[in-house]
Amino acid sequence: MAALMGVRTAAACLLQSQSCGVWRGLGTSAAVLQKQAQAESPKAEGVFPVTMIPGDGVGPELMHSVKEVFKVAGVPVQFDEHHLSEVQNMASEEILDKVFESMKKSKVALIGKIHTPMEYKGELASYDMRLRRKLDLFANVVHVNSLPGYKTRHNNLNLVIIREQTEGEYSSLEHESAKGVIECLKIITRAKSQRIAKFAFDFATKTGRSKVTAVHKANIMKLGDGLFLRCCEEVSELYPKIKFDTMIIDNCCMQLVQNPYQFDVLVMPNLYGNIIDNLAAGLVGGAGVVPGESYSAEYAVFEMGARHPFAQAVGRNIANPTAMLLSSANMLRHLNLEYHSSMISDAVRKVIKVGKVRTPDMGGYSTSHDFTRAVITAMTE
């Protein structure tokens, strides 16, 4: 018993010393960081610099919608736009460094999907992965919320998926040990498992949520996922008011489809999070309606929750701006621009609730421009 108490005490000391990022309430906000950087980053008074990466697929079209809405709403944000794309031959260390320099000044970014080609060209880590590692964006947060007025199989859903996204199967450690034999290494560390677990419990505490579920495959990957699970269990002891349970990943997929209401906050390693993000997005309307963001100790990046380039929709004016607009509204809330954030998010939800303007992915016939104009009209009414 004494040994157990010693472990808990040591874990508490370690976790309390770790920074969990710039998510509001968990660390220094971007608004404060930007005030500190004003002397070295000249900008218009009262205007927040934000790094923008349109990305691939319909990303540039969605960013155009954001710019139009921000302009009408009078949002005090100035975008520093950079084009980073492997499929468009606009990816290099020089561009990556420019993005990083921009992020060091702004601390905040709005990005589209940076598509990763499947072909192996001598480099295992994609530029998207390298950017996230360079910024140490360890926590990916996806908000899965039903939209009033849009019916799906499960309505009134409200859950959050938190994914560790700097290690696991996405460590880019693969090699051919013998001809025809490929080994892929999955990396799980105590430090990063504790960090994401603490982030999840802090998130639950600050947002008034009551339960955290750790998703794993420790019955098969006894060492790797076993370590992740133990770290979550240790951290849970520090939050007695938050209910904690665990679930194996395959069962979690089934339970999400059958009874998603049992979940509140889910925390999991990298690959599982990628899969669950997309599964959960399908429960509330698809990738076009789910916002997300990623956090490090210093930076916050806002994006679509389910990352898809929608290449087949490029130039057809049919992409759904909902997820990107909601993500941009969350970004404004992060910057303490509550008025503008609420104005935009309320307008988006109003348009969907009325139901007269919907893009094809939501069963409608409206264009991206139609939806954007409807949001602008809703803001000005």
Domains of the chain from N-terminus onward: 16-137+290-381 (3.40.718.10), 151-284 (3.40.718.10)
pTM exceeds 0.85, yes or no: yes
Q: Which residue type does 332 have?
A: L
pLDDT tens figures, 82-123: 988 766 666 678 888 899 999 999 999 999 988 766 676 666
In tens, the pLDDT along 331-357 reads 999 999 999 999 999 999 999 999 999
Structural element, H or E, at residue 139: strand 139-145
Assign 3-state DSSP to the chain and report helix, strand, coil percentages, each to 5: 45, 20, 35
Q: Looking at this protein, which amino acid is placed at residue 183?
A: E
The pLDDT of 125-139, averaged and rounded, is 88
pLDDT at residue 10 greater than cutoff 50: no
**Cα separations (Å) of 336 from 24, 156, 188, 194, 340?**
9, 27, 35, 28, 9
Q: Are 198 and 252 in contact (CB under 8 A)?
A: no
227 touches 188 (CB < 8 A): yes
Residue 250, pLDDT > 70, answer yes
Give the span between the Cα atoms of 114 and 205, in whole angstroms.
Answer: 32
Tokens linked to 14: 């370690």
